[in-house]
Structures are given as C-alpha cells and as structure tokens.
Amino acid sequence: MVGDDGIRMAIEHREAGVAVVALAGEIDTWNLPTLRESLNALPDDGVRHLVLDLSGVEFLESGGLSVMIELYKRLQRDGGSLTLAAVPGWLRQVLATTGLEHILPAHLDVPTALAKVLPGPSSD
C-alpha cells in the first residue's frame, strides 16, 4: 500500500507471475516517485504480467502516464505485459487522445483483463 500522499495501491491478486494492482486516488507530482518505486519493484519480485485496476483513480497527470509507459516497456522487454482494467471514461479519453490505447490495452473489468494474461487450462 502506497502512503497517504493522495494515491493508494494494493496488490489484489498474485499468482504465476501475474499481479493485479488496484490504484485509487490522485496520481500527481507528489506521489509519482513512490508510485514508480512501488510498481517497478513488482518485476523484481517475479511479476511478468501486470494488470492495473484504475477504477479508483480520480486524477492522473502526465507523469502517471510516463510511469505506465516505462513499466510497459520494461515488462515487454522481459516478455511480459501491462494491461489496464476498469479505466474511468475520462481516462479512456486521455488514452485515446494520446494514442496510448494502442500500447496499453484497456479492458472493461479485472476478470476480463486477467483472462487475457493468465495461462488458460491445459489440454492434457
């Protein structure tokens, strides 16, 4: 959980190199360093596929998008992925306007996003 600086972060699910992190509050200049450090620690702990649940995000400045892009590049380089879930309408518009919707896939909800990144049942 990230501190009391306007943003809250909780790992809601973790298995087989996949983690779901719920973000809530405001992502701004003051909490970007803490958020960056917390998210960047996940690949170091074995997370290859990350789903960010953005349903509780009330504000996101451009630096927050930069953190997501940096994390996307790092995970992609290592064969992983970054997926967004439950993206608020205003943020969907930002992603569309900036063209980031093409590299940061956004899904309606966390279960849908997880279905895209979790390994399916084996055919044994």
**pLDDT at 5 exceeding the cut of 80:** no
Q: Is the CB of residue 81 less than 8 Å from the CB of residue 49?
A: yes
Read off the tokens for 98: 């900036």
pLDDT (0 to 100) of residue 6: 73
84 within 8 A of 57, measured Cβ to Cβ: no
Architecture of domain 7-117: 2-Layer Sandwich (3.30)
User: What token pair was written down for 84?
Assistant: 């967004």
- Per-residue pLDDT band for 104 (boundaries 50, 70, 90) equals very high
Task: Look up residue 44 and give its two tokens.
Answer: 């170091």
Nearest to 105 by CA among 62, 78, 76: 76
Where does the pLDDT of residue 18 fall: very low under 50, low under 70, confident under 90, or very high at 90 and above?
A: very high
Cβ count within 10 A of residue 120: 6
Please give the model's pTM, rounded to 2 decimal places. 0.89
Instruction: Report strand pairing: 7-15 vs 18-27.
Output: antiparallel
Kindly report, residue by residue over 24-36, the tens digit of the pLDDT.
999 999 999 999 9
Task: Quickly list H helices, the chain.
Answer: 32-44, 62-77, 89-98, 110-117
Taking residues 113-118, report their average pLDDT.
89
Neighbours of 1 (CB within 10 A): 9
Give the pLDDT confidence of 36-89 residue by residue, as tens digits: 999 999 999 999 999 999 999 999 999 999 999 999 999 999 999 999 999 999
